[in-house]
Structure 1
Amino acid sequence: MNPPTFDEYWLGYLAGHSKPSTRLIHYLGLFFAPIAGVAASFLVVWWAFLVIIPIFYLAALLTHPLLEHNSNKPFADRPLWSAIALLRMLALDLTGGLGRHLRRVNEAARQA
């Protein structure tokens, strides 16, 4: 069942990315690696993005079963919301605001 609001999805997204190592690998694999891959394609060799992006994407994908012990299926069901949530998570992490949202996730888990 998909959550009816983005806020509910957001809390589930954060719960599925609760470990700092998971978030770091997601930031690298889903945000910074594509940028680096495109840059390397222009600066080094044209096919660099064909190597860089899939390797880092796979690493981000594997964090769910290996680090979080969950599935990425709930996030794959809403790809646009997932992309927005990733960017929001990154921005909040970079600006120091993610802790407040993670506390909401922990409070919701305690109440459930």
Structure 2
Amino acid sequence: MAERLYTTYTDFWPFYLREHSRPATRAFHYVGTALGLACVLYALAAARPLWLLGLPLCGYFFAWLSHATVERNRPATFTYPLWSLVSDFRMFFLFLSGRLEGELRRAGVPAGT
């Protein structure tokens, strides 16, 4: 079955959440995002610009690992790179603020999966 093509971010966001339906997948993403952000902060604080490479390396490593081993689907990054990047940070900060569950419900992700 062919993948649906999304033309608006509003339509893409629920798809993104459904592609991250398992808590373990999201946890891998959170680890990668947090480590990537830590690399950015260190790069800025220590004036070591090479550490900026840690953001994409950590982020993509943990995300792609989770899609290969947990979710067993193709990362949306390959089709929607910018929207996937925005959505990863959006999911991370919604999780930290305790507001992700409502977004998951609206996207049709069953609770506890």
TM-score, structure 1 as length reference: 0.72
**2:87 paired with 1:85:** yes
Equivalent residue for 1:95?
97
Distance 1:49 1:88, change over 3 A: closer
Contact 1:37 1:53 in 2 (8 A): no
Structure 1: which 5+ residue stretches go unaligned? none
Q: CA deviation at 1:86?
A: 1.1
Aligned equivalents of 2:91, 2:39: Cα separation in 1 = 22
- Following the alignment from structure 2 to structure 1, what is the Cα–Cα distance between the partners of residues 20 and 54? 25
Q: Indicate the structure (1 or 2) with the bigger Cα radius of gyration.
A: 1
> Structure 1 residues 65 and 41, CA, compared in 2 at 3 Å: closer, same or farther?
same
Asked if the contact 1:13–1:85 (Cα under 8 Å) also holds between the matched residues in 2, the reply is yes
What amino acid sits opposite 2:37 in the alignment?
I
1:40-89 superposed Cα distances (whole Å, 9 cap, x missing partner): 7975x8866667963563232111121011111x3322211111111111
Of the structure 1 ranges 84-93 and 51-60, higher mean CA displacement relative to structure 2 is found in 51-60
Q: What's the Cα RMSD here?
A: 2.8
- For residue 62 of structure 1, the aligned residue among 57, 62, 65 is 65
Query: Identity, % of aligned pairs?
Result: 33
Choose between structure 1 and 2: higher helix proportion: 1
Cα contact 2:36–2:54 (8 A) shared by 1: no
Cross-structure match for 2:36: 34
Normalization by structure 2: what TM-score? Answer: 0.71
Aligned length: 105
Shift of the 41–63 alpha-carbon distance from structure 1 to 2, 3 Å rule, reads: same
